[in-house]
């Protein structure tokens, strides 16, 4: 996991510890191709591609909340939320705070950074899309063991449920791990709101 200390303290008094490279999720103008990334194997680039694939193939359209807060386009919003969860940032307020502090996002969006309630609504409306993106990222990490180690994720090795073959066991574990991350995000958000 990419962790580093940053100056400053969020409103809840905890020092920020996880650096998110959110500038890769800045919406690109539709008429111009996006700039070529420096490295094709970075988590941000891969998650952005996976989010675009999920948005394009999702049976139900990925819903971007309208109203109270600002939101990124569907692909970028799915990418930001998924990326934050893979890095262990689960509270919607923390995701919002990290977006506000990202200079590339601020420059591109101005005051249009999604707020915590918008992030929560996006998560509730798009559970399946988030799980599919997390699963796809886990499959990608499985093929890239060095990057999996860097991301702090281990390859599954314990035996799976009875009657399930080896390959199926891995798929079941990846799905369960994705569901667990989403549940952790929901739990973390609910605990934070209860403490307010």
Which pLDDT tens digit goes with each residue over 157-179?
444 444 444 456 677 888 889 99
pLDDT bracket for residue 103 (50, 70, 90): confident
CA 111 vs CA 72, 76, 99: distances in Å: 12, 16, 11
Q: Considering the domain boundaries, does residue 139 fall inside one?
A: yes
pLDDT bracket for residue 152 (50, 70, 90): low
Q: Considering the domain boundaries, does residue 56 fall inside one?
A: yes
Average pLDDT over residues 24-35: 61
**Three-state secondary-structure class, residue 18:** strand
Q: Considering the domain boundaries, does residue 116 fall inside one?
A: yes
d(CA 148, CA 137): 10
Q: What is the overall mean pLDDT for the chain?
A: 76
Domain residues for 105? 41-194
Q: Considering the domain boundaries, does residue 146 fall inside one?
A: yes
Q: Considering the domain boundaries, does residue 4 fall inside one?
A: no
Q: Considering the domain boundaries, does residue 84 fall inside one?
A: yes
Higher-pLDDT residue of 196, 180: 180
**Residue 156, pLDDT above cutoff 80:** no
Q: Considering the domain boundaries, does residue 13 fall inside one?
A: no
Q: Considering the domain boundaries, does residue 161 fall inside one?
A: yes
pLDDT bracket for residue 26 (50, 70, 90): confident
Most confident of 89-93, 169-173, 185-189: 89-93
Q: How many domains does the structure of the chain reveal? A: 1
**Distant-in-sequence, close-in-space partners of 131: CB < 8 Å, separation ≥ 6:** 175, 178, 179, 182
């Amino acid at each position: 996991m990419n962790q580093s200390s940053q100056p400053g303290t969020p409103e809840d008094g905890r020092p920020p510890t996880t650096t998110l490279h959110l500038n890769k999720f800045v919406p690109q103008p539709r008429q111009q191709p996006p700039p070529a990334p420096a490295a094709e194997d970075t988590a941000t680039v891969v998650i952005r591609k996976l989010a675009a694939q999920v948005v394009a193939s999702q049976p139900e359209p990925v819903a971007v909340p309208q109203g109270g807060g600002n939101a990124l386009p569907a692909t970028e919003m799915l990418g930001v939320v998924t990326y934050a969860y893979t890095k262990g940032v689960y509270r919607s307020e923390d995701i919002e705070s990290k977006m506000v502090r990202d200079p590339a996002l601020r420059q591109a969006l101005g005051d249009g950074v999604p707020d915590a309630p918008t992030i929560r609504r996006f998560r509730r409306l798009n559970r399946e899309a988030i799980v599919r993106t997390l699963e796809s990222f886990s499959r990608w990490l499985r093929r890239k063991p060095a990057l999996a180690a860097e991301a702090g994720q281990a390859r599954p090795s314990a035996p799976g449920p009875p009657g399930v073959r080896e390959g199926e066991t891995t798929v079941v574990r990846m799905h369960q791990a994705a569901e667990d991350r989403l549940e952790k995000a929901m739990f973390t958000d609910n605990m934070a709101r209860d403490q307010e």
